[in-house]
Structure 1
Amino acid sequence: MKSLNFGPERYSTATTDAPHELAAAVNLIEKAGLLSDDYDYAFWLRKVKEARFDHPEEQVRLLIEKMLSTKAWLLSKRGEAMNCGGWLTNRLKEQANGP
């Protein structure tokens, strides 16, 4: 039986644009549009690191989904605008402080 040949091109192309899991999580925050001059990439990277998630990309994805659904609910039911950056920062702080 012929063995599989794993060529060097397999290791030279990245599977993601993020160099590590924390950066991948911050890329999701960037896609959600939460980066600004004051709350830049380094700020969010620090907050995600402080939260000490086991799988930061997955956890941040779930938080963003919950944030967007909460934002839609507040807008439709109460007619209120939500500060998404503040909401996400508070959830990350809660995770960093522990249960």
Structure 2
Amino acid sequence: KILYSKAYALVYPSIDEGFGIPPIEAMASNTPVIVSDIPVFHEVLTNGALYVNPDDEKSWQSAIKNIEQLPDAISRFNNYVARYDFDNMKQMVGNWLAESK
């Protein structure tokens, strides 16, 4: 958690991902997240991250360089984190277990 909180941003250029725990961990530390524009991240992170074409190096450079200049980026990241706090995750897991019976 300390490393995430000291980071400028989490840059996660994955092209094949199952869930993506590191972006959630970074968001929980109020660290902006830049990820590949792939379906799983849209499903998990919705509008909590910046999405970049995984094959476009210049787009990655631009996103990293300009992340602080995006007017609502930091507040958007911070607002999204609440979705994955401990109590909410506990409730979600409880609901999934109840539904599976």
User: By the TM > 0.5 criterion, same fold?
Assistant: no
Q: TM-score, normalised to structure 2's length?
A: 0.29
Q: TM-score, normalised to structure 1's length?
A: 0.30
Q: Which has the higher helix share?
A: 1
